[in-house]
Chain A
Amino acid sequence: MKPYLREKKSFAFEDIPEDTCFEAGYLVTVNSGWRSRTPQIDNEKCIGCGQCYLYCPDGVIAMDGKTPVIDYDFCKGCGICAKICPKSAIELR
């Protein structure tokens, strides 16, 4: 499941809680700013084995049936999916 990103993002003084306690699941920002390279899936080579989905340390690869889908809002570009892919169907660019 993709993390739930709130539409209302306010950094105004009164919108910041007094303590470090807030409704669960509240994300105010995507988290991929430090990615230097981006994994790209070649769907021609992909066999839908799901290894990239299982190994992704950040849980940003979902399986749409037999097709892996990467959530680039949260992918950090670590390259583990490319390394684990048995068909070399993922390339970091």
Chain B
Amino acid sequence: MKRFLSGDEAFAEGIRLACPDVISAYPITPQTVVVERLSEMVEDGSLDSEFIHVESEHSALSCAIGASAAGVRTFTATSSQGLLYMAEGLPYAAGGRFPVVMMNANRATALPWNIYGDQRDSLALLDTGWIQEYAADAQEALDMAVMSYYIAEHRDVSTPFMVNLDGFVLTHTYENVDIPDRERVREFLPPYETENCFDFEHPKNIGFSAGPETNFIFKYKEHRAFERAIHVIKEAERRFGELFGRKYTGLAEEYLTEDADYVIITLGTAAGLCRTIADELRREGVKAGVLRIRYMRPFPNEEIARALKNAKAAAVLEKDISFGNAGTVYVNVAAALQWAGVSTPLYDFVGGLGGKDITHADIRNIYESMGKGAPRVTFMGIGVE
């Protein structure tokens, strides 16, 4: 069934299909619509979930962790300041291996106060042990609401999952979206089963401490789960493609990279405009390509190295800066090239902070200026070099 939905509404439809047992969330712009739709679905009986009204984001995630420890499927959603307020709980959920799914609407972080989209909220929390996916359109948002549970709850993974939607550009933009059949989603997504939960018959100690002798081993096991997740992501996409006819491309999505001389690497919705301009440049005889990172964790190291190996130059376009260094996406991409011994010069373009539009001219400028001069960080469109 096709419906005309915003990114937020599409995500809520995906959650209705995944049918979490417990939803605990606190509204925050630009995520609010997700929470509103889900509460309406619970109210009208079309979603059989326990909707817990909480007083803060810290409580929202804490409730989801507690419910997950009771052995049920859980969902929360937030954005920006709310995500930062959840920060304490993020490694807690990850270390406890509770497969909570969260939708995060990417939004600028204060100060100055700003409700518009950039990716500094989730990228600041990249090291907390959550899988991070960045959707590029409303259909992907809906599909990831379903697929995220398959991946997060898989026995080889057991890791919480954050699906990121660009604030406003994706959360509030309407598109034609295909809503999968509920029975087929049931076929795709098995009920959540785990032994990592309370059990009256077999008392357990859950969420314990671990001293210096063993703590390190738990951390290594978390890391290993991300390596396993790469295979589970592929398996989920293969099964999803068979059942619903939509293909996803794993950790990264490539566009004309095979023979590209100049490649832009980016996250989320900005990739759409980059593809349009790559087409335009191709008509002018410039071999341009785009690599969209879908997963920041686990990170597409191999895909990036392969796509950039024969390029003359590449540039990261990101809505992030790690003050005192480059942007976080740049640093990760540069490491991917280093692992593989690829020496393609890599430039960093910071754009779209606080919701500033990334324009057609901005992206043409990235393609035209990459490869010229020493690699550096460029803040786009603010009148400084």
Contacts and interface: CB of A to CB of B under 8 A. Distances in A.
Interface of A: 11, 13, 16, 18-26, 29
B158 A18 contact: yes
Nearest to A13: B217
Given A19-B158, A23-B205, A11 B213 contact: yes
A18 B205 CA distance: 14
A7 B97 CA distance: 27
B96 interface: yes
A22 B96 contact: no
Contacts of B95: 20
Contacts of B218: 16, 20
User: Which label, helix, strand, loop or mixed, suits the secondary structure of the A interface?
Assistant: loop
B204 interface: yes
A87 to B, nearest CB: 37
Nearest to B208: A20
Contact of A29 (B196, B197, B211, B225): B211
Given A16-B218, A16-B221, A21-B196, 11 more contacts: A13-B217, A18-B221, A19-B158, A20-B218, A21-B195, A21-B205, A21-B206, A22-B205, A23-B205, A24-B203, A25-B205
A18 B202 CA distance: 18
A4 to B, nearest CB: 12
A13 B214 CA distance: 9
B152 to A, nearest CB: 13
Contacts, number: 47
B210 interface: yes
10 contacts: A13-B217, A16-B214, A16-B217, A18-B158, A20-B95, A20-B210, A20-B218, A21-B195, A22-B204, A23-B204
What's the interface size class on B, roughly? 20 to 34
Contacts of B195: 21
A22 B208 CA distance: 9
B272 interface: no
A29 B221 CA distance: 22
Interface of B: 95-97, 158, 195-197, 202-208, 210-211, 213-214, 217-218, 221, 225
A24 B203 CA distance: 5
A25 B195 CA distance: 17
A24 B95 CA distance: 19
A24 B205 CA distance: 5
Contacts of B196: 19, 21
Contacts of A24: 203-205
A11 B213 CA distance: 7
A21 B97 CA distance: 9
The 6 A-B pairs with the shortest beta carbon distances in the complex, nearest first, are A19-B97, A24-B203, A19-B196, A16-B217, A21-B196, A11-B213
A9 to B, nearest CB: 10
B227 to A, nearest CB: 14
A20 B206 contact: yes
Contacts of A21: 96-97, 195-197, 204-207
A26 B202 CA distance: 13
A22 B211 CA distance: 15
A11 B214 CA distance: 6
Given A18-B97, A18-B221, A20-B210, A26 B205 contact: yes
A47 to B, nearest CB: 38
A71 B67 CA distance: 36
